[in-house]
Structure 1
Amino acid sequence: MKKTILVGVLQCLVLVLFAAEPAGYYNSAEGKSGETLRQALFSKIKDHYNVGYEGLYNVYPTSDVTADGKVWDMYSTCTWTHGQKKCGNYQTVCDCYNREHSVPQSWFSKASPMVSDAFHVYPTDGKVNGQRSNYEYGECSGGTSLGGKALGRLGESTLSGYTSYGTVFEPDDEYKGDFARTYFYMATRYADKCSSWGYTFGKDVSGLTYYGVALFMKWHRQDPVSQKEKNRNDAVYTKQNNRNPFIDYPDLAEHIWGSKKNEAWYSSQSPVENITLPLFEISPNPAKDYITISSETTSKIGYRIFDLSGKTMLSGETQVGAPVAINSLNNG
């Protein structure tokens, strides 16, 4: 899952490049299943760095970005430049974008750190965000859409066995798996808090209600992990220092809520679909004032430069091909 390169920089420094989770990141989850597995993952990802509510807009240019550098919105096909046309007021679809809590913040009383956890707060069209309000995700027949470039619709729940759940918001098919894995993350990262959130979270099965399991396992299976999700997982990791395990290893969901919940999970046996490990080239090497990282398989890369005692001297994220200044580092 990980591509790591160690390169000598100056005389006594080491550069680490990363595009996925560090080796051994999920070791504590190996051999576990069901609720025990969820608790092991909770212990691993719970202590993340809180970027702050305003800081989310600094995360999005690397986490939610289209191939042409625009905001990637899962609630519309509108086009925005990062940092421009942030809501205030809006009248119609494509007026502006804002921060959508896929798990509505009213469910947890806008408490921290949930209110600013980038793994579930996405940049979306303000009008569609307002239409979704704090309704549960679900499936509906027909329903109400804002039309035009809006994605998603509101209607009465039609999920088998849960038709009495009232009005739900159904996302576009392309992103149903994304939201399912977002909810799996939230049920795991906040395993100590989530049992009272809405109709989706609860105590039925490892942090989810039977409704949540039925809905999100269906979406998870129908809409596999995309490259967009992998890129986002890596980008948020560089900001929060935690990951969404269900993007790295989709089969984890089966071992907690699905058909394998009584079977032990092992990363070596867990299918990981469509993994492409980025290949890097760093120049010049050795380096003095700057380095340039090139790759044909990824557009962004995180880096950390350590001294030989393990102290971080410089870290950040850069576009592939852009020079990274290292002339501030002491030689030796």
Structure 2
Amino acid sequence: MKIKSTLVIIVFFFISVCFSQTVVINELDSDTPSIDDKEFIELLSNIPNFSLDGYVLVFFNGSTNGADSSYLTIDLSGYTTDVNGLLLIGSNAVVPTPQLLIAPNLIQNGPDAVALFTGTAEDFPEGTLATTTNLVDALAYETGSAEAQSLWALLGLSGQVIEGPNNNTDSIQRFDDGLGNPDSISYLATIPTPRALNDGSGIILNGILTTVSQAQYDEGMAFDITFTSEQNVTSDLNINFSLNNQGFNTSDYTGNTSVIIPSGFNTVSTTITLIDDILDEGDEVLKISISTLPTEYLRLNNNLEIRVVDNDFTMAPFGTPLYPTTGIVASTQPTGYYDSINGLSNTTPTTLEQGLQNIIANPAIVRAQTYADVIDILEEADQNPANSNEVWLLYTEQGRAKLDIQTTSNNAGTWNREHTFPRSLAGYNSIDLDEIRDGKDVFWITKADSLRHGNSDAHALRAADGPENSSRNNQHYGQYNGPSGTAGSFKGDVARSVLYMQIRYNGLSIENGFPSTQGQMGDLVTLLDWHRNDPPDDFEMNRNNIVYEWQFNRNPFIDMPELVEYIWGNQAGMVWDNSLSVSDFSVETIKIYPNPINDQLFISGKNNEYNVVIFSSDGRKLQSKTLKNNSPFNLDLATGLYYARISSEGKTETKKFLVR
């Protein structure tokens, strides 16, 4: 039976090395509610201010897949316990701030174990089997998981401690009654006490809290940083801090970064002014980091991150997908890039599909980047044309700060990488090396059979709102049609991206309906409709050019959208020739104006007459008319996004326009 915040479970078991250690595992919190960012482990030395040089902390995975082997190693050389003999290890979200910082959510829930050894990190590469060699102390634990008896045995233990069920609020704490026998040691699951002795004894340290009134300021603004101690200080306390973080440095602000809390008081403030320069540096993050404090103090929080919004952002010469433009951004395809598909159809021995694949999956040219590299690609390729500090979000049709990339399991207010052809439908996943952002010039050789590389193919990955990405999940298009109330400006983009995936990778196909076979995705009819009603614009051409710089391949359905008809649509089986591309019609070319419009739309081009059909954003036909060149089409439409399908002399082009 578990009673909240009181004595829960006391487990006695024999650890052969636990009665004469200089350092022991004093407290472990392997599981915290929600996003697991407050996990920690605490060591205790029987000598205050004890150097941990020559010690290493190793975490072992007791699951079947983990094979009782190490998954995380922390070398403790260079660290020292405090005046109470404690060293706290955890993420910056732990309160008080740990002396040794690690990334959040690193410590597994169990059934696992953590062990302290003499040695170095090099002695325990990932996958090292648990051992008693050079073992100083060990703790096996669980959070309602199965037992890991083989792991106990390897570490010389005879049991494990239950911290509580998943998302519990307790920690496991060690108690020693000092009798020096196997029953001296007990473990209690109760309220966490990081950086404090478990029995309440020891020197009570005076905590320093750093506060700022806002989490975000614009360039040119001033703000106060306040430092407050839990108790009045008994002598002047000097606090030195830094604001530097990556590109943010002393050239970006003015103000004192050294303050004094006078004796007998408990607070002090200083004013920082952000310099409003004329440089487009992008939004930045300053970090308030207190340097070393006297031994009787600790930092209740530290490394506070404050966003500095750059007001010198730039705007692209082309529009967003919601207010699209065409003809401003030209394709950067090399001369003759698509020439080899001329004369091919899906009925010739070398099919049009195969001819395209030979170009965009050529292993001698095409490169595959890591899934982490995709973040860098999207920050450039999906940059909001209206604000260079933002990415454009696919489904929700809005900009979001590049700095708001999702980094934890909490996706609210963030953006992340959306697979338009979902992982689970395609059958590709990440590997460890996918988490390395190693840049353009480090890449994998890839080919048509390299399906795993579809996981990081930027032609089919887009910046998307975190919650909306989760809402879409792995639905087929047609099942998923985007958020209600949006204009659907993403529809042609996603259609061309998943059609590209069928050509690029063997084993993937686009089918009618909503197939359940891995490698298949739908709905083809829906996607063809989306492609026709939402043709490529400058935004999409720009991202095609940028992805090409990384992957050395292009999405042909952006460069030559009419190709879609020759593979899946109304020209299927016909022989392709570049001169038949709709892009030639665009260059010739047709323009609609003004855009946005009020009540009249004009068509301008080289031909004398055009047939114009107006569609709503959801594909409903609204009006049609045959117009003379530069004559008006009188419209009576509500505010919103619409499409004009324009035909002349056997050629057709669709353009977006906005009614305001």
TM-score after normalising by structure 1 = 0.62
Name the CA shift for 1:253/1:208 in 2 (closer, same or farther; >3 Å). farther
Q: Could you say which residue in structure 2 is the equivalent of 1:66?
A: 384
> 1:86 is matched with which residue: 383, 406, 409?
406
Name the CA distance, whole Å, in 1 between partners of 2:510 and 2:534.
27
Which protein shows a greater Rg?
2
- Between Structure 1 and Structure 2, the one with more strand by share is 2
The gaps in structure 1 that reach 5 residues or longer are 1-17, 144-150, 154-169, 277-332
Is 1:113 matched with 2:425?
no
* Matched-pair contact (CA < 8 Å) for 1:60–1:82: no
Name the CA shift for 1:73/1:30 in 2 (closer, same or farther; >3 Å). same
Query: What is the CA distance between 1:110 and its match in structure 2?
Result: 2.6
Is 1:188 matched with 2:503?
yes
Query: What is the CA distance between 1:85 and its match in structure 2?
Result: 3.7
Name the CA shift for 1:183/1:195 in 2 (closer, same or farther; >3 Å). closer
State the SS of the aligned residue for 2:418: strand
Name the CA distance, whole Å, in 2 between partners of 1:201 and 1:267.
33
Query: What is the CA distance between 1:172 and its match in structure 2?
Result: 4.9
Amino acid paired to 1:183: V
> 1:232 is matched with which residue: 543, 549, 552?
543
Q: Could you say which residue in structure 2 is the equivalent of 1:28?
A: 340
TM-score after normalising by structure 2 = 0.32
Deviations 1:158-204 (A, max 9, x none): xxxxxxxxxxxx985211111111111011101x211499966799x
State the SS of the aligned residue for 2:357: helix
Name the CA shift for 1:77/1:90 in 2 (closer, same or farther; >3 Å). farther
* Matched-pair contact (CA < 8 Å) for 2:565–2:572: yes
Name the CA distance, whole Å, in 1 between partners of 2:478 and 2:486.
8
* Matched-pair contact (CA < 8 Å) for 1:87–1:126: no
State the SS of the aligned residue for 2:416: strand
Name the CA shift for 1:195/1:77 in 2 (closer, same or farther; >3 Å). closer
Q: Could you say which residue in structure 2 is the equivalent of 1:11?
A: none
Name the CA shift for 1:221/1:254 in 2 (closer, same or farther; >3 Å). same
State the SS of the aligned residue for 2:464: strand
Report % sequence identity: 32
Name the CA distance, whole Å, in 1 between partners of 2:472 and 2:541.
26
Query: What is the CA distance between 1:152 and its match in structure 2?
Result: 2.1
Deviations 1:74-119 (A, max 9, x none): 1224532224443423364xx1111111111112333420110001
Deviations 1:117-144 (A, max 9, x none): 001111111100011111111167xx9x
Name the CA distance, whole Å, in 1 between partners of 2:344 and 2:408.
46
Name the CA distance, whole Å, in 2 between partners of 1:100 and 1:225.
19
Name the CA shift for 1:109/1:219 in 2 (closer, same or farther; >3 Å). same
Name the CA shift for 1:234/1:104 in 2 (closer, same or farther; >3 Å). same
Deviations 1:238-275 (A, max 9, x none): 01000000000001011111111121111122111645
The gaps in structure 2 that reach 5 residues or longer are 1-329, 430-451, 589-660
> 2:553 is matched with which residue: 242, 246, 268?
242
* Matched-pair contact (CA < 8 Å) for 1:71–1:82: yes
1:143-158 pair list within 5 angstroms: 152=483
* Matched-pair contact (CA < 8 Å) for 1:34–1:257: no
Name the CA distance, whole Å, in 1 between partners of 2:558 and 2:404.
29
Deviations 1:277-326 (A, max 9, x none): xxxxxxxxxxxxxxxxxxxxxxxxxxxxxxxxxxxxxxxxxxxxxxxxxx
Amino acid paired to 1:256: I
Q: Could you say which residue in structure 2 is the equivalent of 1:214?
A: 525
Name the CA distance, whole Å, in 1 between partners of 2:423 and 2:332.
29
Name the CA shift for 1:53/1:198 in 2 (closer, same or farther; >3 Å). farther
- Between Structure 1 and Structure 2, the one with more helix by share is 1
State the SS of the aligned residue for 2:523: helix
Q: Could you say which residue in structure 1 is the equivalent of 2:466?
A: 126
Is 1:257 matched with 2:257?
no
Is 1:174 matched with 2:514?
no
Amino acid paired to 1:194: L
State the SS of the aligned residue for 2:463: strand
Name the CA distance, whole Å, in 1 between partners of 2:459 and 2:486.
17
Amino acid paired to 1:179: V
Name the CA distance, whole Å, in 2 between partners of 1:266 and 1:80.
41
